[in-house]
Amino acid sequence: MSQERLTRRATVRDVAALAGVSPGTVSKALNNTGQISSTTRARIKAAATELDFRPNELARSVFGRRSFTVGVITTDSFERFSVPVMLGAEDALGAGRMSAFLCDSRDDPIRERHYIDVLLGRRVDGIIVTGRTSNPRPPIQVRDAVPVVYALTPSADSRDCSVVVDDESAGRLAGEHLLGLGRRRIGHVTGPVSFDAVRRRRTGLRTALADAGLALTGEPLHGSWTEAWGRQATQILLRSQPKLDGLYCGSDLIARGALDALRDSGRRVPADVAVTSTDNWSILVEGSRPPLTSVDMGLYDVGRVAARRLLEAIDGTPGSGVERVPCQLVVRASTEGADPW
């Protein structure tokens, strides 16, 4: 009973012909819209299956008001920070039957402009802009009424809708955790002070300490996001603060260096010094000696929330301002272990 194979894709017309109805009826039947007798509907659906018919989404988009696509632009080459954001976004978008276009602007304004134009040409329903840091960025220019949501990297224009990590809570969580373990001489080794995230985490940490009537032990040490800096800074800190019993590091890489320096100095972790880190990057925190307690920045959630905000904006209720998604502390042996490493 099989039809002759079509070399091209089947269209509504092919289905209509096979089912002995008109194209319009096929449309109604397959979209469960309008008034159709169930027998005709069944016949049409059978014909569609037979021909492996799949409606051309491009065509329906031309007609309709929406394309059910969005663009995701990153400046981060989808490296470790924007990847989870993007995945979270894709997850949430897929639930809304949206597909995501991938654009890697590499932090190049020319490329970014190009991608925006491409996306607008493809009539995306919205755009998510993501990046590498918490530092605000200039908003993208879209003359059209295409909704934009910034994820991870907020827009400098506070009227725009931005979804970011709650960096301050990261510092507070780390501080409260160390305090809860009875640590009282807590130091801080972190990244460049030019990073918003660095300053906010520092504030969070200080707030937690202040709430306990304490101050940071030693000055916060700012340097590069590297293991080498983690080692060096920790050595410096230990020299001036030999009785340090707690340490909050601004990244897992820095924390790895700190662990090395602590071991080299003959200190035990966590017995002598408890170490808490930031990023919870499994590859770094799970294999270290000891495994690292770390604040997970919830980047996947940032992506998910951003996508949800974008869908809302597309549906006509745009958000505004900066939304901060909570972090979560993941406890490992560097703060609660008993074993010797």
Partner DNA sequence: ATGAAAGCGCTAACAC
Partner DNA sequence: GTGTTAGCGCTTTCAT
- Binding site residues, DNA, CB under 7 A: 8-9, 11-13, 20-28, 30-31, 33-37, 39-41, 53, 55-56, 59-60, 62-64
Q: What is the CA radius of gyration of the chain?
A: 27
* Helix (H/G/I), strand (E/B), else coil: 73: strand
Q: Quick one: which segment of 26-34, 95-103, 167-175, 266-274 binds a second copy (CB under 8 A)?
A: 95-103
| The entry of DNA, a second copy, none that residue 30 binds, CB within 5 to 8 Å by partner kind | DNA
Crossing angle of helices 38-50 and 23-31, in 10° steps, is 100
Go through the chain and tell me how many residues it has. 341
Of 27 and 203, CB closest to DNA? 27
**How is residue 285 written in tokens?**
């925190």
Cα dist. 152→34, 66, 139, 287, 300 in Å? 44, 26, 13, 27, 10
Q: Report whether 61 contacts 123 (CB < 8 A).
A: yes
Q: Quick one: which segment of 147-155, 161-169, 181-189, 226-234 binds a second copy (CB under 8 A)?
A: 226-234
Q: Cα(327)–Cα(337) distance, rounded to whole angstroms?
A: 22
Of 32 and 141, CB closest to DNA? 32
Give the per-residue contact string, 103-142, with a second copy (x = CB under 8 A; - = no): xx------------xxxxxxx-------------------
Of 87 and 330, CB closest to a second copy? 87
The set of residues, in sequence order, having a beta carbon less than 8 Å from that of 109 and lying 6+ positions away, is none
| The entry of DNA, a second copy, none that residue 21 binds, CB within 5 to 8 Å by partner kind | DNA
Contact call for residue 144 and a second copy (CB under 8 A) = yes
The set of residues, in sequence order, having a beta carbon less than 8 Å from that of 285 and lying 6+ positions away, is 252, 255, 277, 279, 291, 292, 294, 330, 332
Of 17, 87, 214, 331, the one binding a second copy by CB under 8 A: 87
The set of residues, in sequence order, having a beta carbon less than 8 Å from that of 153 and lying 6+ positions away, is 75, 129, 130, 131, 132, 133, 134, 135, 136, 137, 164
Of 17 and 87, CB closest to a second copy? 87
Which residues of the chain form contacts with a second copy (CB under 8 A)?
9, 52, 54-59, 61-62, 67, 69, 72, 77-80, 83, 86-87, 90-91, 99-104, 117-123, 143-144, 226-228, 253, 256-257, 260, 283-284, 286-289
